[in-house]
Amino acid sequence: MNQPIVWVHGDCLSPYGSALKQYPDAPAIWVWDEALIEEWQLSLKRIAFIYECLLELPVVIRRGDVATEVVAFAKEHRAEQVVTTASPSPRFDAICNEIKRFVPKVEVLAVEPFFEYDGYIDLKRFSRYWKVAERHLFS
């Protein structure tokens, strides 16, 4: 099988993420999810933070419908596999299922948890996540 592509999303913005580590030479893509930006009303501050993270990653940056752009990127690279990192986002499974309609294999790699927690965390704001994480990491 030819080399896969890596799909980087908002829950794996680290150069040490499992997909980029496992496939360091694979072409990688990030897609600004226009529907999510609109739905969540992401602030310019958050968008700038994400963009600064992206500048540290070996990714091609696109915008639009995530599944459509990832599939197009895979076709451009003649890749038959998309590799990404797991996400708790409810949108993630739907995007993966859409990609699977056009790409033979989607591999979702596990992510090593930053801390162990099985309660609810509002993922719309990093500060809310970090408040919960701090209690577990520094207590």
C-alpha to C-alpha distance for 128 and 114, rounded to whole angstroms: 15
What is the fold, at CATH topology level, of the domain defined by 5-137? Rossmann fold (3.40.50)
C-alpha to C-alpha distance for 64 and 35, rounded to whole angstroms: 8
Are residues 15 and 109 in contact, defined by beta-carbon separation less than 8 angstroms?
no
Q: What percent of the chain has pLDDT over 70?
A: 93
The domain spans of the chain are: 5-137
C-alpha to C-alpha distance for 96 and 90, rounded to whole angstroms: 11
pTM of the model: 0.82
Beta-sheet strand order (sheet of 5-8): 60-64, 28-33, 5-8, 81-85, 105-109
**Residue with structure tokens 């592509």?**
5
| pLDDT tens digits along 25-54 | 999 999 999 988 988 888 999 999 999 999
What pLDDT is stored for residue 81 in this prediction? 98
C-alpha closest to that of 69 among 61, 57, 78, 59: 61
